[in-house]
Structure 1
Amino acid sequence: MIKVTGLVKRYGKAVAVDGLTFCVRPGRVTGFLGPNGAGKSTTMRIILGLDRATEGRALIDGRPLRELDRPLSRVGALLDASAVHGGRTARAHLRAVAAAGGIGDDRVDACLELAGLAAVAGRRIRGFSLGMRQRLGIATALLGDPDVLLFDEPVNGLDAEGILWVRTLMRGLAAEGRTVFVSSHLMAEMANTADHLVVIGRGRLLADAPIGELTGAASLEDAYLELTGKAVEFHTREVRP
C-alpha cells in the first residue's frame, strides 16, 4: 500500500504539490488523473524517494522507500522511458538493473518476453521508438516481481495494440493483489484502466473515489475532464463521424 499524508512540495515560491493526502490500496488499479503540470510526476518522485517533500510523508507499506530491504523486489516504477543509456541493448540495460538488485538473468528474459521485446533484445536502445522504450521501462519496473508498482503515463507513444496490452497488464497485476498506481492526463484512458481515481489539479486533491462514482451515467469513452481549483466536472461531447 502507498500512503501519502499532507504532502507539500515547494520550489521557491511555486507550490507543485499542495497538501495531498490519499491511499493507494492493493488489489485494484488506482488512476492518478490530472492535467499536465498538476503535480502527478512530482508526487510519484517523492513516493520513490527521488525528490524530498517540503512537508508531509509518503510511505510504502508503512515505511519510506529508502528503508525497505531489497527495494527492487518491493517496488517497481516507470517514470521516464527516455532515461536510459541509448548505447546499451535492451537486454544489457535490464541485466545491469537486475545485477544491481540481485536479480537473476532468467528474470531478465522473462520480462523481455512479457513486454514483447524478446525479438529486439539485442538492439541498441537509441534506435527504439517511444513505444518500444515505454515497453522497456515497464519491463524494468517488473524485474523484481514487486508488489507495488508506479507507472507515469505508460501509454505514451504506444499504438492501439500496445495500449490494450498495458490495460490488460495493469488489471492482471492488480488481480494478483498488487498495488498499482498509474498516472494519466486522459480521462478516457483512466475509464478503460482504473478501478479507483485520485484526481488532482494545481497540486491539490480534487477527488478520491471509485471511478463509477465520478463518471456516473456519462459515456466513459466520450467523457472528458474539466479541472478547476475548486471542482471536478465531467461532461460528454458529441462525437461526429
Structure 2
Amino acid sequence: MCRAAPPGSLGPVIEVREVSKWYGRIQAVDALTFTVRPGRVTGFLGPNGAGKSTTMRMIVGLARPSAGETRVGGRPYEGLTHPLTHVGALLEADALHPGRTASDHLLWLAQSNGIGRTRVRQVLGQLGLDGVARRRVRGFSLGMRQRLGLAAALLGDPPVLLLDEPVNGLDPEGVRWLRQLTRSLAAEGRTVFVSSHLMSEMAITADHLIVIGQGRLLADAPLASFVGDGTSLEDAYLRLQERAR
C-alpha cells in the first residue's frame, strides 16, 4: 500500500477557477469553478461531451484553458518538479507505447521523475502485473492496459490522483479491487478525483460529487445530500440533467 500523504507537503487540493475551454467555435467547458479536497473520493459526473475529460486534461497540463486557471496544491501542474510524485493520473489507457514492456514503460516514467526501480517492482505487484512485466503492451487486453495505467498513476506515490473512467475493461473482481483501493487512498488523506459513467459504482464509492452538464457546473455536494432520502443516485442525476437541459 502507498504511504499516506505528508501533512501539508502539497496541501493536496485540486482547484479549478473560472475555467473555460473553446475548440474553435465549440465551447467544451464554460466558466467552471470547483475544489476537490483531500480525505474523500470525489466523483465527477456528466454525460458524454459534458467536458469531464477536457477538464481533467487541463488540470494535468495536457490542454490549456482558454480562460481561467487550474492548480494542484496551490501551483499550476506545469510548475511541479517531478510531477508524478505530486499527481498521478489515468486519463487514456491506450496512451502506451505498444512496443515497450510493462516494466520498461514504468521504468521510463520512473527515471524521468527521480523514482527508483524498487518502486516499479512494488506497483507491478500491487496491480497484479508482475507476471506480465516482460510482455509487450501490444499484447495486453483493455483490462491489463487499464491496470498498467493505474500502476503509472501510483508510481510516484502521489498525494493527488485523477482517474478518468478507471473501471473500463476491468472484470468484477478488478472493479471491486479498484473501489477498495480508491477508498483506502482517500482514507490516508489523499485527494482522489474519479470520473465514471457507472452510477451504481459511484453510489458506493464516492463521498462527494461534482456534476457538470454542457461544460457548466450543476452540483457540488456530498453524495448523501445530492441523493436525498429514498432516491437512487441515477434518478437524482438524471433529474438534474433534465432540469439543466
Partner of 2:175: 163
* Alpha-carbon distance between aligned partners in 2 of 1:229 and 1:214, rounded to the nearest angstrom: 15
* Alpha-carbon distance between aligned partners in 2 of 1:217 and 1:145, rounded to the nearest angstrom: 38
In the alignment, structure 1 residue 228 sits paired with structure 2 residue 223: no
Question: Contact 2:208–2:222 at 8 Å: present in 1 too?
Answer: yes
In the alignment, structure 1 residue 141 sits paired with structure 2 residue 142: no
The amino acid that maps onto 1:206 is L
Partner of 1:201: 213
In the alignment, structure 1 residue 215 sits paired with structure 2 residue 227: yes
The structure with more strand, counted as a fraction of residues: 1
Partner of 1:191: 203
How far off its partner does 1:218 sit? 3.4
Unaligned runs of 5+ in 1: 233-241
Partner of 1:89: 101
Question: Contact 1:202–1:229 at 8 Å: present in 2 too?
Answer: no
The amino acid that maps onto 2:165 is E
Question: Contact 2:226–2:236 at 8 Å: present in 1 too?
Answer: no
Aligned-pair identity (%): 62
How do residues 86-165 of structure 1 correspond to structure 2 at under 5 angstroms? Answer: 86-165=98-177
Unaligned runs of 5+ in 2: 1-12
* Alpha-carbon distance between aligned partners in 2 of 1:201 and 1:22, rounded to the nearest angstrom: 14
Judging changes above 3 Å, is the alpha-carbon distance between structure 1 residues 215 and 154 closer, same or farther for their aligned structure 2 residues? Answer: same
Aligned length, in residue pairs: 232
TM-score normalised by L of structure 1: 0.92
Judging changes above 3 Å, is the alpha-carbon distance between structure 1 residues 218 and 131 closer, same or farther for their aligned structure 2 residues? Answer: farther
How far off its partner does 1:136 sit? 0.5
Judging changes above 3 Å, is the alpha-carbon distance between structure 1 residues 221 and 19 closer, same or farther for their aligned structure 2 residues? Answer: closer
Q: Which moved more, 1:180-189 or 1:32-41?
A: 180-189
How far off its partner does 1:131 sit? 0.7
Judging changes above 3 Å, is the alpha-carbon distance between structure 1 residues 79 and 222 closer, same or farther for their aligned structure 2 residues? Answer: closer
Which 4+ residue blocks in structure 1 deviate beyond 4 angstroms? 219-224
Judging changes above 3 Å, is the alpha-carbon distance between structure 1 residues 219 and 124 closer, same or farther for their aligned structure 2 residues? Answer: farther
In the alignment, structure 1 residue 75 sits paired with structure 2 residue 87: yes
Question: Contact 1:49–1:65 at 8 Å: present in 2 too?
Answer: yes
How do residues 37-52 of structure 1 correspond to structure 2 at under 5 angstroms? Answer: 37-52=49-64
Partner of 1:4: 16
* Alpha-carbon distance between aligned partners in 1 of 2:145 and 2:69, rounded to the nearest angstrom: 31
Indicate the SS of the match to 2:81.
coil
Partner of 1:177: 189
Partner of 2:9: none
In the alignment, structure 1 residue 53 sits paired with structure 2 residue 58: no
The structure with more helix, counted as a fraction of residues: 2
How large is the RMSD of aligned CA atoms in angstroms?
1.6
How far off its partner does 1:36 sit? 1.4
* Alpha-carbon distance between aligned partners in 2 of 1:201 and 1:80, rounded to the nearest angstrom: 21
The amino acid that maps onto 2:47 is P
Partner of 2:6: none
* Alpha-carbon distance between aligned partners in 2 of 1:221 and 1:115, rounded to the nearest angstrom: 29
TM-score normalised by L of structure 2: 0.91
Question: Contact 1:33–1:186 at 8 Å: present in 2 too?
Answer: no
Cα deviations across residues 38-73 of structure 1 (Å, max 9, x unaligned)?
Answer: 100000010001111011111101110111222111
* Alpha-carbon distance between aligned partners in 2 of 1:113 and 1:71, rounded to the nearest angstrom: 23
Partner of 1:239: none
